[in-house]
Structure 1
Amino acid sequence: MQPQTVETITSLIQEGEFFKLKQVLRDFQPSELVALIEEEDEREQLIIFRLLPLKLATEVFEYLDLEVQKHFLDNLAQDKMADILNQMSPDDRTTLLEFLPANFVAELVQSLSEEERRVTLQLLGYPEESVGRLMTPDYIAIRETWTVQQVLDYIRQHGGQSETLSMLYVTDNAGVLIDDIRIREFLLSAPTARVRDLMDRRFVQLTADQDQEEAIDVFRRNDRNALPVVSDQGILLGIVTIDDILSIREQEDTEDMQKLGGSEALDEPYLATSIWGMVKKRAGWLVILLIGEMLTTSAMHHFEDDLAKAAVLGLFIPLIISAGGNAGSQATSIIIRAMSLGEFRLGDWWLVMRRELQSGLLLGLILGVVGSLRIVLWATVVDPGYFGPYWKLISVTVGFSLLGIVLWGALAGAMLPMLLKRLGLDPATASAPFVATLVDVTGLIIYFSVATAVLNGTLL
C-alpha cells in the first residue's frame, strides 16, 4: 500500500469526512484493508472498521491479528459484532474463541444464531456425546450484590430471550458460578432484600465435557428443569434444559430397544430409512446369529449317537432351548434397563448374580415341574405307552434339564451386559437374540449331559 494512501485515509479521519472515507474504503481489497487497519492507532482502527459494509468487514475481520480482533470485540457495538461472528467461517471463529477467556466466549456464543452456535460448540472441541453439545447460552445471570427489585427489573428487560426463568444463576465478576436460586424466592422476598441474603451456595452443576448419560442421571436425581454448565474453572458457560435431556433419553432408549431386538440402531426414523439402509443395519446381526446357531447344529451332531438310541429325546429339544433362551432374554432386558436407570453399579455384580441364582433356581424349578408334569400326564392319561417304559426317567431328565438351562440362561443374560459395560462396550449389544443363541448352544450340552446321567443303562 502506498504511503500517500495511508496519509489520505488518516487525513479524512482527522477532518471527519466519514462519508467520503466510506466510499474510498469500498475500493480496497480485504488484504489491503487488513494492512491499513493494523498500521493505524486503535482509535482510527475502530473508525475504519465501523465504516465497512458487513460482508467486507467479515472478510477483513477473519484476517486481522487476534489482538486486534479482541480489541474490536471489546469496543464495537454488540449487534455489529454478532452479525460479523455469524458471517465468519466456523474455523476462523473457533480460532478466535479459543483465544478468548471462557466467560467472554460464553457471551459471544450467546450472540450466534442457533445453527452457527451448534457448529461453533462442535468446533470448540466438545465431544459429540458431551453436555457441551446440548447447552444453550440463553439464561439469566445475576450478581450477589443486587437487590430483589434489580433482579426483577433485569428479568423484565432480558428474560424474553432466556430459555427458562425457573432458575436464576449467581456469578461473580469473573463469571464463575457461585449459586443458583429459584425464581419463586425472589417473588416471595422483599424488594429491598439482597441476592446474597437468598443464597445458600449449594447448587448442582454439569461440566461441558461431561457425558450426556451422566447428565440424565443428574437430572433424575435432582428433579430440575434446567442445570448450569460450567468450564473446568467453574465459569458459567450455559445451561441444559429438561427438554434436551428428554430428547437424548428418547434417542438412547430407542437405540437400546433396537439393539436388544438384534439390530444396529437406526440413524433415521423407520419410514425415512431406505430399504438398503434397513438391510445393512439388520443383516450383520442376522449373519452373526446364524453362525451362532450353526454351533447348535454342531452340538446336536456331537450327540447324534444318543439321539439315534433315544429318538424320543429329540422331541424335547425345542422346548428345552426355547426355555433357556427366553430366560436369558428376560434377564438381559431387565439388567440393561436397570443399568440405564442407575439402579445398581458394576461393583454390585455379586448382588446381581446372587439374585439371579435365586430367581433362576425358582424359575427353573417352576418350568421343570411343568415340563415333567406334561410328560407324566401324557404317558398316564393322554397316550399311555407313548414314551415307552422309561417315561419316568424321561420326565426326570426333562425336569432337571429345564432347571439347569433356565438357571444358566438367567445368569448368562444378567452377567453378559455387565461384562460388556466393564469392558467399555455398550451393554445393549448383548441383545436378546444373541443371548438366546448363546444359551441354545450351551443348553443342548446341559440337556444331553443330564440325559446321559439319568438314562445311562436304560435308553442310553
Structure 2
Amino acid sequence: MAFEETNITYSAQTISRQELRELVQSQLKLLLEQNNLEGAKALLVPVQPADIADAIEGLPETSQVIAFRLLPKAEAIAVYEHLDKPVQQSLIQEFKRQDVLDIVDQMSPDDRVRLFDELPAKIVARLLEQLSLEERQATALLLGYEAGTAGRIMTPEYISLKEDWTVSQALERIRQLANNSETIYYLYVTDAARRLTGILSLRGLVVAQPEQTIGEIMVREVVHVQTDTPQEEVARLIQRYDFLALPVVDTEQRLVGIVTVDDVLDILEQETTKDIYTLGGVQSGVDSYFQTNLLTVARRRVTWLLVLLITNTATSAVIRSQEDVLQQVVALAAFIPLLIGTGGNVGAQSSTVVIRGLNTEEISQTKAFQVIRREATAGVLLGLMLGIVVLVWAYFLQGNLAVAISVGISLVSISILASVAGSTLPLIFQNFRLDPALMSAPFITTIVDVLGVLIYLNVAQFILNLG
C-alpha cells in the first residue's frame, strides 16, 4: 500500500484527539510492518510530540526503536520527554551510546531527573559522567534534594534580572536567554547575592517605557516556596493563585529554580491516582495499566484483601454469637446483606467526601466537629428515607411486622453509624499525621459490617422479646 493511500487529514473539527492517536498508531504500525520508513516518517510530520509518544508506546518494542529513530533530533527530544518511563528505559537500552547522550543532554533538567529516578544507579552514574559540565551540574543540583520536594521537581532554567537594569537592557537579556529557558512569561529579580527581591511579568515589561528601571515596575511581594517544600504544597499554591510558574529559594532566600505549571499537572495527576488507589485499597504504582505485570497487580491488591479477609471474620463471629435469634426468626438472616451493604455504601460516600475535602483543604481539623455533625445529620436523613422504604419492602416480603420494624430501625442506626465513622476516622488519621486516604472505603465498610450486624441482631432480639 502506498503512503498516499493512508494519508490522514488532521482536522480538529472532524476527529477527536483520541481518535487521532489511535489512527496514527494503527497507520504507523502498518507502515513499519511494510518496511515503508519514508511513509512512516511523513506520517509523523504534522503530529504533535505528545501524540507521537502515545503512538510509539502502542507499538511492539522493536518497532518503537525504529519509529523513534525516524524523528528529527529536535523533535525526538520533545517526544522522549512525553514517553512513559518504562518505554524511555527500553529505548535507552536499545540506543547506541551517543544517541542516548544526545537525547539526555538536551532534555530539560527536571525531566532528566525524573528519568534518572527510574533508571538503575549504574546507568545513571555513566550518563552523568558523559553529560556536558553545565547539564551535569544542573542535574546534580536537583538530585541533591529529597524526592517529592520543590527542589527535586524544579528547573534551574529561568531568566533573572537586576533592579538597576532598564527595560531595554532586560529585553535584550531575554532575547539572549529565551531559547534556553523553561518560560519567559515570568521574570525574576535578584540582587548581587542572587536573593529573590521581586518578580515581573513579560506583559509588564513590554508595556513599560524603555528608560524605566526594573526596580520601578517590578512587584516586590513574591509568593515563593523553599527547596524542601512538599510538591503537593507547591501544586496547591500554583493552583490557588493561577500561576504559570513558582520561584524556589534556598534557606538563604537565594533563587535556585522555578516549578512550572506543566510539572504541577503531572504532580496533581500522580497524587490523585495515589488517593484513588488508596481509597480502593490498592497499592499505587508508577506504571500504566497495560504495562504492569499481572503478578505485580495481584501483589498490590492482595495486602488490603488479606487484612479485610481477617477483619471480616469478626462479622462471622457476631452472627455465630446471635444464632439463637436467627434460629427463632430465620427471616432475619435474609436482610443481613441488605443492611451491611447499604451501611458500607453510606460510610464509603461519607469518607470519600471528607477525604477529598481534606486533600483540597476545604475541610480542616478546626472544622472537625462541624463536619462530623453535618455527616451525622446526613446519616439521619438518609437512614429515615431508606428505612421507611425497606420497612415497607420487608413487610411485603415476609409479612412479619416485627422483622420489618427491626430492619427499618437497624437501617437508620447503621446509616448514622456509617456516616459518623466515615467522617471521623479520616480526621483522626490526619490528626496523627497519617494519610487520611488510608482510612479507605474497604476498611470503613468492614467496620460498618461488623457493627451493623451487631446492631441489627440486638435490635431484632429486643423487638422480638417485646412481642
- Normalising by the residue count of structure 2, what TM-score does the alignment of the two structures yield? 0.70
Q: Which whole-Å deviations, capped at 9, do the CAs of 1:297-336 have from their partners, x for residues lacking one?
A: 0010111111011111111101110010000111111111
Q: Give 1:139's aligned residue.
A: 158
Question: Is the 8 Å Cα contact of residues 110 and 137 (structure 1) preserved in structure 2?
Answer: no
Q: Give 1:434's aligned residue.
A: 443
Question: Is the 8 Å Cα contact of residues 165 and 183 (structure 1) preserved in structure 2?
Answer: yes
Distance in 2, matches of 1:149 and 1:111, equals 31
Question: Is the 8 Å Cα contact of residues 217 and 342 (structure 1) preserved in structure 2?
Answer: no
Q: Give 1:200's aligned residue.
A: 219
Question: Is the 8 Å Cα contact of residues 138 and 163 (structure 1) preserved in structure 2?
Answer: yes
Deviation at 1:453?
2.3
Q: Which amino acid aligns with 1:429?
A: L
Distance in 2, matches of 1:197 and 1:187, equals 14
Deviation at 1:165?
1.0
Distance in 2, matches of 1:260 and 1:204, equals 33
Matching residue within 393, 407, 410 for 2:416? 407
Deviation at 1:199?
2.4
User: Are 2:142 and 1:121 aligned?
Assistant: yes
Q: Which amino acid aligns with 1:216?
A: A
Q: Give 1:330's aligned residue.
A: 349
Structure-2 change in CA distance of 1:119 and 1:333 (3 Å): farther
Question: Is the 8 Å Cα contact of residues 229 and 236 (structure 1) preserved in structure 2?
Answer: yes
Deviation at 1:148?
0.8
Other structure's SS at 1:165 match: coil
Deviation at 1:452?
2.2
User: Are 2:256 and 1:242 aligned?
Assistant: no
Matching residue within 259, 275, 278 for 1:259? 278
Q: Which of 1 and 2 has greater Rg?
A: 1
Task: Work out the percentage of aligned pairs sharing the same amino acid.
Answer: 37
User: Are 2:402 and 1:393 aligned?
Assistant: yes
Q: Which amino acid aligns with 1:360?
A: G
Q: Give 1:159's aligned residue.
A: 178
Matching residue within 445, 451, 456 for 2:454? 445
Other structure's SS at 1:227 match: strand
Other structure's SS at 1:456 match: helix
Q: Give 2:340's aligned residue.
A: 321
Deviation at 1:111?
6.1
Question: Is the 8 Å Cα contact of residues 140 and 155 (structure 1) preserved in structure 2?
Answer: yes
Deviation at 1:235?
0.4
Q: Give 2:63's aligned residue.
A: none
Deviation at 1:419?
1.3
Q: Which runs of 5+ in 1 are unaligned?
A: 1-81, 91-108, 380-385
Q: Give 1:365's aligned residue.
A: 384
Q: Give 1:355's aligned residue.
A: 374
Q: Which amino acid aligns with 2:456?
A: Y
Deviation at 1:290?
0.7
Distance in 1, matches of 2:224 and 2:369, equals 32
Question: Is the 8 Å Cα contact of residues 110 and 138 (structure 1) preserved in structure 2?
Answer: no
Question: Is the 8 Å Cα contact of residues 204 and 217 (structure 2) preserved in structure 1?
Answer: yes
Deviation at 1:457?
3.8
Q: Which amino acid aligns with 1:339?
A: L
Deviation at 1:116?
6.6
Distance in 1, matches of 2:137 and 2:450, equals 53
Deviation at 1:348?
1.5
Q: Which whole-Å deviations, capped at 9, do the CAs of 1:374-402 have from their partners, x for residues lacking one?
A: 124x16xxxxxx43xxx222222111111
Question: Is the 8 Å Cα contact of residues 324 and 440 (structure 1) preserved in structure 2?
Answer: yes
Q: Which amino acid aligns with 1:189?
A: A
Structure-2 change in CA distance of 1:110 and 1:303 (3 Å): farther
Question: Is the 8 Å Cα contact of residues 138 and 156 (structure 2) preserved in structure 1?
Answer: no
Other structure's SS at 1:229 match: strand
Task: Name the count of aligned residue pairs.
Answer: 341
- Normalising by the residue count of structure 1, what TM-score does the alignment of the two structures yield? 0.71
Other structure's SS at 2:290 match: helix
Deviation at 1:119?
4.6
Q: Which whole-Å deviations, capped at 9, do the CAs of 1:10-32 have from their partners, x for residues lacking one?
A: xxxxxxxxxxxxxxxxxxxxxxx
Q: Which amino acid aligns with 1:121?
A: L
Between 1 and 2, higher relative CO (CA 8 Å, sep ≥ 6) is seen in 1
Matching residue within 273, 276, 282 for 2:292? 273
Distance in 1, matches of 2:315 and 2:133, equals 62
1:91-240 equivalence runs, <5 A: 112-113=134-135, 117-122=138-143, 124=144, 126-240=145-259
Structure-2 change in CA distance of 1:442 and 1:129 (3 Å): same
Distance in 2, matches of 1:238 and 1:220, equals 18
Question: Is the 8 Å Cα contact of residues 325 and 439 (structure 1) preserved in structure 2?
Answer: yes
Question: Is the 8 Å Cα contact of residues 387 and 407 (structure 2) preserved in structure 1?
Answer: yes
Q: Give 1:58's aligned residue.
A: none
Distance in 2, matches of 1:134 and 1:337, equals 24
Structure-2 change in CA distance of 1:118 and 1:412 (3 Å): farther
Q: Give 2:33's aligned residue.
A: none
Question: Is the 8 Å Cα contact of residues 328 and 410 (structure 1) preserved in structure 2?
Answer: yes
Q: Give 1:25's aligned residue.
A: none
RMSD of equivalent CA atoms? 2.1
Deviation at 1:168?
0.4
Q: Which amino acid aligns with 2:432?
A: L
Q: Which whole-Å deviations, capped at 9, do the CAs of 1:400-441 have from their partners, x for residues lacking one?
A: 111110111111111111211122222222221111111100
Distance in 1, matches of 2:283 and 2:254, equals 39
Q: Which amino acid aligns with 1:300?
A: I
Deviation at 1:112?
3.6
Other structure's SS at 1:271 match: coil
Deviation at 1:118?
4.0
Deviation at 1:152?
0.7
Distance in 2, matches of 1:120 and 1:184, equals 31
Divergent runs of 4+, >4 A: none
Q: Which amino acid aligns with 1:423?
A: F
